Structures are given as structure tokens and as C-alpha cells.
Chains A and B, each alone.
Chain A
Amino acid sequence: MEELTPRQDRIHKKNSKLLPKLAGVLLLIAVAIVLFKTLGNASLFFYPVDEAVEKRVELQDRRFRVIGVPQPGIVETVLGGVQVIVFTLCEGDVFADVVHEGDPAELFNPGVPVVLQGVWIENDPPDLEKLLNPAKDGWHIKTDSMVVKHDNDYRSDRAELESCDSG
């Protein structure tokens, strides 16, 4: 029987396809890392304010993320030589006072939900009396990271702000 297999340089064949295989292996590793970071990053999980208040004792001394709606009446002040903003975060009818260090997000505004990262501190925040609607419960959340969770409403004249029941 006639043998018609084309002759090829085996060494060249091996080398020419090494790069895609290597790329494939690296991509598999990349997917594994991404999955690990996604599933393992419990810090991204954020508590609504009411849940963060309910689990205050459990969360004490632990950094956690909390989502809530900043209330009108944001106070800028200095705490321990550091510029901070003091405001009240809410979810439904539950309120929590916040002291945030560092620059707030560009779109930080009352009524626009934010995700903050920090720890519970057992004392009132500074300038508590200047807040319009404080939680005033002897605690505040000291935060240093802020991202905005923007809503999905693009109707300029009918878009509604998140609101809370006054405490």
C-alpha cells in the first residue's frame, strides 16, 4: 500500500505549537485564580445597614462592608489631625452614623447608595449635634473605602432617590 504521509520536521512541529499550549495552560491558571478570588473574597459581600447594626457585636473588630443611603446633612471636620466627613447611613428605618476618612467618591451625595468598608467603633462620632438625623446610639462605623452603587434609572425628570423612614 502506498505510504503518503507528508514528511514534516518533527522538532519544528513541536515548537510551533508550544506557544498556544502554554497560553492555554496560563489561561486555565488565570481562570482558577479569578474563581478563587471571586469565591474567596468574602470582604466584597456587603451588609445592609439594618443587618450591620443587628450583627454589631458579632462584627466588632472585624472589617466589613456595609451598603446604605447617606442622609442629607454631611459634616466635614477634623479628627485626630485627619480630615473626615461625618454623616448618617440608613436602610429602611435603621440608621448608623459614619466617620469616613479620605476623599469621598466623586458622585457621593445624599440619596445615592454607597458601599463603605470599615469597623464598628463604640462611641459617638464627632460633631454629632450637627447631623440632621443621627442614629445617636453610642456607636459609629469608621470607614476608609467608599464606592458608589448607582441605580439603574435614566429618566432624568422621574428618577427617584433612595429614601429612608425618618428615625
Chain B
Amino acid sequence: MTGNVQMADLKNTSSKGSKILGTSSLVGFAVLLVLAFFLTDPDIRFHPETGEEFGQFDAVRLLYLHVPLISVTYLAFIICAIASAGYLFRRTLWWDSLAHSSAEVGTLTCALVLVTGSIWGRPVWNTWWEWGDVRIMSTLILFLLFLGYLALRRAFESPQRAARPAAVVALIAVLDIPLINRSVEWWGNRTLHQKSTLSEFKIEDLTLFTLMFGILISLLVMTWLILHRFRIAWLEHVEFEQGVQAAIEERRQIDSKENQR
């Protein structure tokens, strides 16, 4: 990573494009909430023999947030891993900032995945949390690994020194994603989590539309957040470089005065 900052003219994190993206994200999210909580039907079925109602009832509405959130969590961490690999090859600020930004956004969405899953699990599974459940635990491990990644990034005085070990941690942590995704198939008798609905086409009509719309809007929100976080990371770097330059200049002046004496 060099001290040459190519985006030194960047003064804040906003731009015309980011404003359009942000507005679209917020409007889309509002529409998603209306679809999820008002327009779609609750999951109610009738038992063919007893005629009793069963299903997830209104709890199903949380899935319109939970599933899109895990989708963007995967994507954010995969972007982080690709950017980390990019950094290890190219050693540029751009790759490092992208890795850092996507890791922060991914960690946030991963936390929301765990929270929404827990809230959904209480009425549907009859438990807030299940220690030992392979899907829940592997997701928690992913969250903790990326929390560790973020802690590591702050553990060094210089951001440049943190970049390389952080990139290695990201490349290791991302290996948990296929494990999470396939856990319901590989360890079916160690998880309460259901198998994939989308891959088995067990969803249709407005339910399917709302879920896909939720994924699209979550992608927009994720892109918007990463864009702003990337620009913050860049400005932080500019500030750090300016601080280093100022310190060098100060030291030069002190040495110059001492030499003159």
C-alpha cells in the first residue's frame, strides 16, 4: 500500500449515484415491509384429517427479512474474501478498503440474521436458541470470526499493518459459508432448520415475489452501505496519511532547528 492517495479530492461519502441508490433502497425497503407484513397471507393450512389449522401463521412474515439478510451476508463476506485475495496480490488501498467495508456490512447483516432467526424460532420451533444445532452454530461461528476480523483490524497502530493478517483471516473465515449453506443437507439430524425452499421450488405467487423482492432490496441496501463505508475507509486513510506527513514535517522542522544551533 502506498501513500499516494488517488482519491484525495473525496470530501464526503455522498455522491449523486449514492443518493439515488439510497433513495431507491429506502423506498424499496418500505414497499417490502408493506408486502411482508400486510399484503402477503399468513401461513395457514388445514389438516386433511382433523380439519385443524396449522402452519407458521404470522411468524412466516419474518422470513421475508431473514432469508434476504442471509443472502446478502453470504455475498458481503464473499466480496470481502475476493477483495482480501485481491489485496494479497495487488497490495492496494482499494482492495483493502473494499474488504474492510464489506466485512463490516456483512457482520451487521449476520447479526440481524441471528436475531430474526431467533425471534422466528420461538413461535415456530418452540425455542429461541438451540445450542448444538449445526446451522445456528455455524452461522454464529461466522459472525464471531468476522467480529474477530474487525477487532484485528483495530489491533494495529497502522491500518497498513492490519491489512495483511486481516486478509488471511477473511480467506479462512469465508470457508464457513459452504458449511452453513449445506449443513441442512449434510447434518439433517443435527439441525431443526428446514431445507432450502427456493431450490426445491416450494414457494409461489406473492410469497415468492415478496421473497425475491426482499433479496433485491437487500442487495441495494448492502451496496449502498458498502459504498459509503468504502468511502469512509478511504477518507480515514487520507486522514492517516496526512497525519503521518504532518508528523514527518514536524520532525524535520525540529531536526532542522537542532542542526542550526
The distance in angstroms between the C-alpha atoms of A46 and B147, with both chains bound, is 31
Given contacts A115-B192, A156-B44, contact A43 B252 (CB under 8 A): no
* A118 lies within 8 A of chain B by Cβ: no
The distance in angstroms between the C-alpha atoms of A20 and B165, with both chains bound, is 14
Point out the residue from A3, A17, A31, A45 that lies within 8 Å of B157, measured CB to CB.
Answer: A17
The distance in angstroms between the C-alpha atoms of A28 and B124, with both chains bound, is 32
Residue in chain B with minimal CB distance to A31? B144
* B62 lies within 8 A of chain A by Cβ: no
The distance in angstroms between the C-alpha atoms of A146 and B126, with both chains bound, is 7
Contact size class for A? 35 or more
Contact with A along B193-223 (1 / 0, CB 8 A): 0111100101110010000000000000000
* B112 lies within 8 A of chain A by Cβ: no
B123:A107 contact, CB within 8 angstroms: yes
Neighbouring A residues of B196 by C-beta, 8 Å: 152
Point out the residue from B55, B130, B203, B204 that lies within 8 Å of A147, measured CB to CB.
Answer: B130
How many residue pairs bridge A and B at CB < 8 Å? 145
The distance in angstroms between the C-alpha atoms of A23 and B133, with both chains bound, is 25
B147:A27 contact, CB within 8 angstroms: yes
A154:B203 contact, CB within 8 angstroms: yes
Give the segment of A4-12, A79-87, A119-127, A135-143 that binds chain B. Answer: A4-12
Given contacts A149-B192, A150-B125, contact A17 B154 (CB under 8 A): yes
Interface residues of A (CB under 8 A from B): 2-7, 13, 16-17, 20-21, 23-24, 27-28, 30-31, 34-35, 37-38, 41, 43-48, 67, 72, 105-112, 115, 146-156, 159, 161
16 further A-B contacts with Cβ under 8 Å, apart from A24-B152, A35-B141, A154-B203, are: A4-B251, A6-B251, A7-B247, A13-B157, A17-B155, A23-B151, A37-B137, A38-B132, A38-B138, A45-B190, A106-B126, A107-B56, A107-B124, A109-B47, A111-B47, A149-B192
Identify the 3 closest CB pairs spanning chains A and B, nearest first.
A41-B132, A6-B247, A105-B126
